[in-house]
Amino acid sequence: MKMLTFMIQEKNNKPIYLQLYEHIKSEIQSGRIEAGSKMPSKRKLSQHLAVSQNTVQAAYEQLIEEGYIYSLERKGYYVAEIDHIFHLEEKKQELLHKGAAETEKIIYDFSYQGVDQENFPFSAWRKITKDVINEYDKELLKQGDPQGHLYLRQTIAEYIRQSRGVDCKAEQIVISSGTEYLFQILIQILSQEAVYGIENPGHERLNLLFKSNRANYEVLAIDELGMNISEVRKSRVSVLCVTPSHQFPSGNIMSINRRAQLLNWANERQDRYIIEDDYDSEFKYSGKPIPALQGLDKGGRVIYMGSFSKSLSPALRISYMVLQDELLRIYHKKLSFMICPVSVMLQKVLHRFIEEGFFERHLNKMRNLYKKKREILSEEVSEIRKKLPKDQSLTIKGADAGLHLLLEIINGMSEKELVESAAWHGVKVYPLSKYYLAEKNLPDKPSVLIGYAAMSKEDIVKAFKLLGYAWFNIKNGEI
Amino acid sequence: MKMLTFMIQEKNNKPIYLQLYEHIKSEIQSGRIEAGSKMPSKRKLSQHLAVSQNTVQAAYEQLIEEGYIYSLERKGYYVAEIDHIFHLEEKKQELLHKGAAETEKIIYDFSYQGVDQENFPFSAWRKITKDVINEYDKELLKQGDPQGHLYLRQTIAEYIRQSRGVDCKAEQIVISSGTEYLFQILIQILSQEAVYGIENPGHERLNLLFKSNRANYEVLAIDELGMNISEVRKSRVSVLCVTPSHQFPSGNIMSINRRAQLLNWANERQDRYIIEDDYDSEFKYSGKPIPALQGLDKGGRVIYMGSFSKSLSPALRISYMVLQDELLRIYHKKLSFMICPVSVMLQKVLHRFIEEGFFERHLNKMRNLYKKKREILSEEVSEIRKKLPKDQSLTIKGADAGLHLLLEIINGMSEKELVESAAWHGVKVYPLSKYYLAEKNLPDKPSVLIGYAAMSKEDIVKAFKLLGYAWFNIKNGEI
């Protein structure tokens, strides 16, 4: 481990993670650590350098991500081929159009597009997949059902009926690869005259989707209770896109009263629809579960959308929607050329994963874990608050459900400065204004979005120490 | 095997397959064969009934397809739960809007949407998949690269450079789930004023895709050499969609002269493009391989599309296209909301499958196998021809490449009668007129499309005996 012995500069502003990562990277680039050689285990290296195992792990993860080292199951970490890597790095940079400086600095990324990294049920998934890849199953060699495999649609229908009160049969379900693909189907089956109403703030780039598909849309301001019916009535909107279970990004849960108002609006005319994107409804931490809008509606005006991106993994690319009979008829008539984009094998694996109880178990486990992560985050916020002078503040918003929350920060910095100072300390947070799809009703107080699902409990603590330092100059121990 | 003993009616017009299938089905439906019980092996049952093993296999496959029995690897065939089956059958019928009578009769389906059913490299695929589902691989829990995994794009770029002469780098490749998804991307990045030109006859429902996406299109007649340049020049078309390697459905290979004419046309103006759908280019049986149009073009006017649906399986849902720099720039700018619909895991499996040489081996094997199937089919056609009177004929067209061909039949029947009489004898063939997207230049001689990839060599022989009987009243022995 000679080449991995180096001076950790404790007084350096740069976190130890980053120092270790940069050292190993330069050793590999220079050829001093040879391709194919085995890296010391996390335990050994942490003992050797007298740093925590988590520090080593973070460094290793960054190296894996950038292709410098790779891991072999039950064997350890190995150094990748170097020529190949330079090659990749060049390409990556070309592709990402990002300055190397910026990407290298980030150690803790509070992205909302991720799930817990340690608890995916890999062994169950592997076992089922192995079973599903079966010589005798001719379905694996044929084009599948355009709407998605019937068995998977049956299990999804059952699941959303029970867990979300969605009123549906398997025949009404259309499986696709992501919300954007579902929206593209809807744009094709709904009237060309439709005007889509999208929440502001709302899902990043949803406006681009409508624009690119040459559909009309209007951006509608929301308040703390969700979509405001008077805003809707003032607009030309006929199809309303909402996230009632946990508004993105504000985190608000839409009140029952608002829900009723929206349903009444939708039921007044036959060309009105509500698209309910229930993207992270699996995770609600307090209060009684509120059933999906779709289940409350008796008029068939709500199109329900769900996804396995938050509950399992965004790398799976499986989402679904529930069409009522009339739209289903148009779908069959107009979109007979569309084939379900999810591979038949994957659909079969997911079907069995749900059917055999693994999904429910995983959800229960994750619900507890994410709750715990949220609590830890909340404790860290409290710790920081204790040390704040009266004119400064740090407030959590929208944390009752889902996998992200908002932080409202009053410390004299602008939103841009908050994001930059966090990044300079190795922490990536997301400016709330990024999710404003129109230049109106911008947030009055500087706020950032924090996704905590993908980060370990330890990392949440460490990242908040860095944020405390970055935003309020509160100094802490090692990191 | 008492319950499986029944009288085979040799003189019945109904093939033995079908008689056996119907007998077993009624035994299961009535409960005389119990759910969960083991079926006799193919060998035993064929000895017992004194029919060929292939006859038993065809009956079993039909039963599997309809959910009456299922197979367990290395164990055999078992009877499925009966309640469940009735349930499924009802749903299937609702979904497919098909008469039961029609579906039940077909034993041999000459669909072009399939691959060989016996030679998929399941064990390699299973092994790689098992390896790829790796706890340490954090990429399996993150949203992947929007264009598709870089490693897979690199292997695809390498593959189409070498095998098809396509001029491209990994950065230019966009991976998606099927031709229809690639077209939908193109419709969004090409000008809204674009007029798409599609081949007539051509890919079924391609017109619906453009219509549904509110894009302008014109249908252009093709002749034996492919797209006719004077037809193109007479039209308003700016984006030409062609299948030069093996025109679908005619099977013609576009002449070099025609290719040059199309490229000249495209290079005259900056808003002109050619979309080259190279859907089954892996399989060419005679003559020198002709490189892709994309490689011949020096002006960057050709958008190349490829797919793994024919070379591996249509159930995988993986296709790709190559964008030149300008279109790539628009794609990055306008479609930043689009995520690659193929699961990261599947992309990694395919990457390794190609990288480790399994793909090439599989292609070589399949090329030989499909060539053999084509020869057998051709022999069967010759056999029939020997017995024909002078005023009748049976001619193969477009068989130099790909996985389908055309049969031109002169026997006094209309195209519709040919298809119906084949179906009545248990053989599904596809009327050529189905692929005419406009009511002009309809085929002058009655023709049907025959896809032979998914059918076993034995079944091709048997199906042609039935076709000989159906179309020319030529009687044969057992089937």
Q: Rounded to an integer, what distance in angstroms lies between the CA atom of residue B42 and that of residue B57?
A: 6
CA dihedral B436, B441, B447, B448 (to 10 degrees): -10
C-beta atoms of B205 and A337 within 8 A: yes
Residue A438 to chain B, least CA–CA distance (Å) = 17
Q: Which long-range contacts (CB under 8 A, 24 or more apart) does B135-138 make?
A: B135/A73, B135/A120, B135/A122, B136/A64, B136/A71, B136/A72, B136/A73, B137/A71, B137/B348, B138/A61, B138/A64, B138/A65, B138/A117
A contact test, residue of B57, B135, B152, B329 with most A CBs within 10 A? B135
Interface of B with A in 391-450 (CB under 8 A): none
- The yes-or-no verdict on residue B256 having pLDDT over 80 is yes
Q: B313 contacts in A (CB within 8 Å)?
A: 140-142
Residue A126 to chain B, least CA–CA distance (Å) = 6
Q: B91 contacts in A (CB within 8 Å)?
A: 150, 170-171
Q: Does the CB of B337 have a partner CB in chain A at under 8 Å?
A: yes
Q: Name the residue facing B341 among A65, A126, A178 (closest C-beta).
A: A178
- The yes-or-no verdict on residue A90 having pLDDT over 60 is no
Residue A135 to chain B, least CA–CA distance (Å) = 6
C-beta atoms of B343 and A316 within 8 A: yes
pLDDT of A5 reads 67
Q: Rounded to an integer, what distance in angstroms lies between the CA atom of residue B317 and that of residue B306?
A: 12
Q: What is the mean pLDDT of residues A445-465?
A: 95
Q: Does the CB of A328 have a partner CB in chain B at under 8 Å?
A: no
Neighbours of A403 (CB within 10 A): 25
Parallel, antiparallel, or unpaired: how do β-strands B216-223 and B195-200 relate? parallel
Confidence of residue A10 (pLDDT cuts 50, 70, 90): low
Q: What is the mean pLDDT of residues A410-428?
A: 95
Q: What is the mean pLDDT of residues A312-325?
A: 97
Q: Rounded to an integer, what distance in angstroms lies between the CA atom of residue A164 and that of residue A293?
A: 9
Residue A32 to chain B, least CA–CA distance (Å) = 25
Q: Convert the pLDDT of each residue in A35-72 to its tens digit.
A: 888 888 888 888 878 888 888 888 888 888 777 888 88
Nearest to B184 by CA among B222, B213, B221, B154: B213
Q: Rounded to an integer, what distance in angstroms lies between the CA atom of residue A139 and that of residue A121?
A: 25
Alpha helices in A213-271 (DSSP H): 229-234, 256-267
C-beta atoms of B337 and A206 within 8 A: yes
DSSP character at residue A314: T
Torsions phi, psi for A38 (to 5 deg): -85, 140
Tokens of B474: 């030529």
**Is the separation of the CB atoms in A276 and A292 below 8 Å?**
yes
C-beta atoms of A64 and B138 within 8 A: yes
Q: Convert the pLDDT of each residue in A353-396 to its tens digit.
A: 999 999 999 999 999 999 999 999 999 999 999 999 999 999 99
Lowest mean pLDDT among A132-136, A228-232, B30-34: B30-34
Q: Does the CB of B74 have a partner CB in chain A at under 8 Å?
A: no
Residue A417 to chain B, least CA–CA distance (Å) = 26
pLDDT of A285 reads 83
Q: Does the CB of A41 have a partner CB in chain B at under 8 Å?
A: no
Interface of A with B in 159-198 (CB under 8 A): 170-171, 176-178, 180-181, 184, 188, 192
Please compute Rg for chain B using Cα positions. Answer: 24
Q: Convert the pLDDT of each residue in B320-356 to its tens digit.
A: 999 999 999 999 999 999 999 999 999 999 999 999 9
**Which residue from A minimizes the CA distance to B140?**
A315
A contact test, residue of B74, B338, B349, B434 with most A CBs within 10 A? B338
**Which residue from A minimizes the CA distance to B188?**
A212
Q: Does the CB of A87 have a partner CB in chain B at under 8 Å?
A: no
Q: Does the CB of B87 have a partner CB in chain A at under 8 Å?
A: no
C-beta atoms of A150 and B205 within 8 A: no
Q: Rounded to an integer, what distance in angstroms lies between the CA atom of residue B190 and that of residue B187?
A: 6
**Which residue from A minimizes the CA distance to B77?**
A136
Confidence of residue B34 (pLDDT cuts 50, 70, 90): confident
Q: Convert the pLDDT of each residue in B58-103 to its tens digit.
A: 888 888 877 788 888 888 888 887 554 443 333 343 434 433 344 5
Confidence of residue A464 (pLDDT cuts 50, 70, 90): very high
Q: B95 contacts in A (CB within 8 Å)?
A: 145, 147, 150, 171
Residue A143 to chain B, least CA–CA distance (Å) = 5
Cα–Cα–Cα angle for A354, A356, A359, nearest 5°?
Answer: 35
- Residue where the block lists tokens 């292709």: A67
- The yes-or-no verdict on residue B438 having pLDDT over 60 is yes
Q: Name the residue facing A342 among B115, B171, B317 (closest C-beta).
A: B317
Q: How far is CA A87 from the centre of its chain?
A: 30
DSSP character at residue A171: G
**Which residue from B minimizes the CA distance to A313?**
B141
- The yes-or-no verdict on residue A14 having pLDDT over 80 is no
Q: Does the CB of B320 have a partner CB in chain A at under 8 Å?
A: no
pLDDT of B96 reads 41
Residue B98 to chain A, least CA–CA distance (Å) = 14
**Torsion sign, CA atoms B153, B156, B162, B168:** negative
Q: What is the mean pLDDT of residues A413-433?
A: 95
Amino acid identity, residue B227? M
Residue A415 to chain B, least CA–CA distance (Å) = 24
Q: Does the CB of A122 have a partner CB in chain B at under 8 Å?
A: yes
Confidence of residue A304 (pLDDT cuts 50, 70, 90): very high
B contact test, residue of A177, A241, A312 with most B CBs within 10 A? A177
Q: What value of ipTM does the predicted structure carry?
A: 0.79
Max intra-chain CA distance, chain A: 75
Q: What is the mean pLDDT of residues A203-219?
A: 94
**Which residue from B minimizes the CA distance to A118?**
B135
Torsions phi, psi for B44 (to 5 deg): -60, -45
- The yes-or-no verdict on residue A257 having pLDDT over 50 is yes
C-beta atoms of B339 and A117 within 8 A: no
A contact test, residue of B91, B345, B366, B369 with most A CBs within 10 A? B345
Residue B2 to chain A, least CA–CA distance (Å) = 26
Q: Name the residue facing A144 among B95, B171, B315 (closest C-beta).
A: B315
- The yes-or-no verdict on residue A93 having pLDDT over 70 is no
Cα–Cα–Cα angle for B341, B345, B348, nearest 5°?
Answer: 100
C-beta atoms of A129 and B133 within 8 A: yes
Q: A42 contacts in B (CB within 8 Å)?
A: none
Q: Does the CB of A214 have a partner CB in chain B at under 8 Å?
A: yes
Q: What is the mean pLDDT of residues B115-141?
A: 94
Residue B326 to chain A, least CA–CA distance (Å) = 14
Cα–Cα–Cα angle for A352, A358, A360, nearest 5°?
Answer: 115
Q: Convert the pLDDT of each residue in B448-462 to its tens digit.
A: 999 999 999 999 999
Q: Name the residue facing A341 among B170, B178, B309 (closest C-beta).
A: B178
Q: Name the residue facing A343 among B130, B184, B316 (closest C-beta).
A: B316
Q: B180 contacts in A (CB within 8 Å)?
A: 337-339
pLDDT of B75 reads 84
Q: A338 contacts in B (CB within 8 Å)?
A: 180
Q: Does the CB of A225 have a partner CB in chain B at under 8 Å?
A: no
Q: Rounded to an integer, what distance in angstroms lies between the CA atom of residue B473 and that of residue B388?
A: 10
